[in-house]
Amino acid sequence: VFQLSVPLNFLGSVYRELRQSLLDMETLFNLQKVNVAIKEPENAKPLMLAGGGIKFENVSFGYRPDRPILRNLNLEIPAGKKIAIVGPSGCGKSTILRLLFRSYDVQGGRILIDGQDIRDVQIESLRKAIGVVPQDTPLFNDTIEHNLKYGDLEASPEKVEAAAKRAKVHDIIQKFPDKYATMVGERGMMISGGEKQRLAIARLLLKDPPFLFFDEATSALDTHTEQALLGNINSILKEKARTSIFVAHRLRTIYDSDVIIVLKDGVVAEQGTHERLVDSGGVYSELWSAQEMLFIDEEQEKSEEKKR
């Protein structure tokens, strides 16, 4: 018995470690790109939150020295507000989220959260405070329930269900063969892109971090589901006064943000509310008109299809 219990205990702790690292993986989008050189000072203190305001001061960054992505970028993200970052593909929107998570460090300037340079605080405390729904969410070869609970290992079944309901995925799960006990992933049931996104959002809502980042988090959903889900997310963000950042291509998903930041060539090209940006007749306003035309066309096509 003794001989057996040791390796089993050992295995148990490895398993717990693994579970823990999977939990971190949830937010650690682009894991493979994470720079191991990211360190904290020996006397680092935990991040102290005071509302959750974010500031980028003259931030410069590039993945390669010959190709700068952000150039002296200045950003102010007020505590408890909903922010959107839009701009052409490849302009560095996701990079901003990666820098906040300290997957990489800035090469110039600094990033402050509630007045603290994020390089000075304990990395674990920083990453604990952030929840991300990345562009492509990893699902683990485990049950739906466990996949959701990576967001909060202690969560009761009721809590899990409540999060799934708000993420508009509970009814879908009810139709799976074993409901919340259904195995998913490579060795389980195949899950569609839209279902995966909803599971990722449920996982984030369960984790309930002070900062919520959504990187094209609803891109695989149909307009109707997307709007309903975004409505739920918005009410949670408001109710809890959370600071959130949405990276999005479809402007219809973010037009109600407190501040919209238009990124171009590594700097902020424009920023303001939807109304202000549309009135000012710049890049955003052009993009909005173009997307609206497209949207109206699509809606018309759909209603004609229905008539046929």
Binding site for ligand ATP (CB under 6 A): 33, 63, 69, 89-95
Please name the residues in contact with 219: beta carbons below 8 A apart, sequence gap of 6 or more.
135, 197, 249, 250
DSSP letters of 187-256? TSB---HHHHHHHHHHHHHHH--SEEEEESTTTTS-HHHHHHHHHHHHHHHHHHT-EEEEE-S-GGGTTT
Q: How far is the CB of 90 from ligand ATP (least distance, A)?
A: 4
Q: How far is the CB of 220 from ligand ATP (least distance, A)?
A: 14
Q: Which is nearer to ligand ATP, 172 or 267 (CB)?
A: 267
Q: Three-class SS of residue 277?
A: helix
Tokens of 17: 């470690």
Q: How far is the CB of 60 from ligand ATP (least distance, A)?
A: 14
Q: Rounded distance, CA 40 to CA 50, Å? A: 21
Q: Which is nearer to ligand ATP, 142 or 270 (CB)?
A: 270
Q: Which is nearer to ligand ATP, 64 or 306 (CB)?
A: 64
Q: How far is the CB of 199 from ligand ATP (least distance, A)?
A: 21
Q: Which is nearer to ligand ATP, 66 or 239 (CB)?
A: 66
Q: In what order do the strands lie in the sheet with 130-133?
A: 130-133, 211-215, 243-247, 82-86, 259-264, 267-272
What is the phi-psi region of residue 30: left when phi exceeds 0, alpha when psi lies from -120 to 50, beta otherwise?
Answer: left
Q: Which is nearer to ligand ATP, 150 or 213 (CB)?
A: 213
Calculate the alpha carbon distances from 230 to 20, 87, 161, 259 in Å.
Answer: 29, 20, 18, 16
Q: How far is the CB of 233 from ligand ATP (least distance, A)?
A: 20
Q: Which is nearer to ligand ATP, 82 or 93 (CB)?
A: 93
Q: How far is the CB of 243 from ligand ATP (least distance, A)?
A: 19
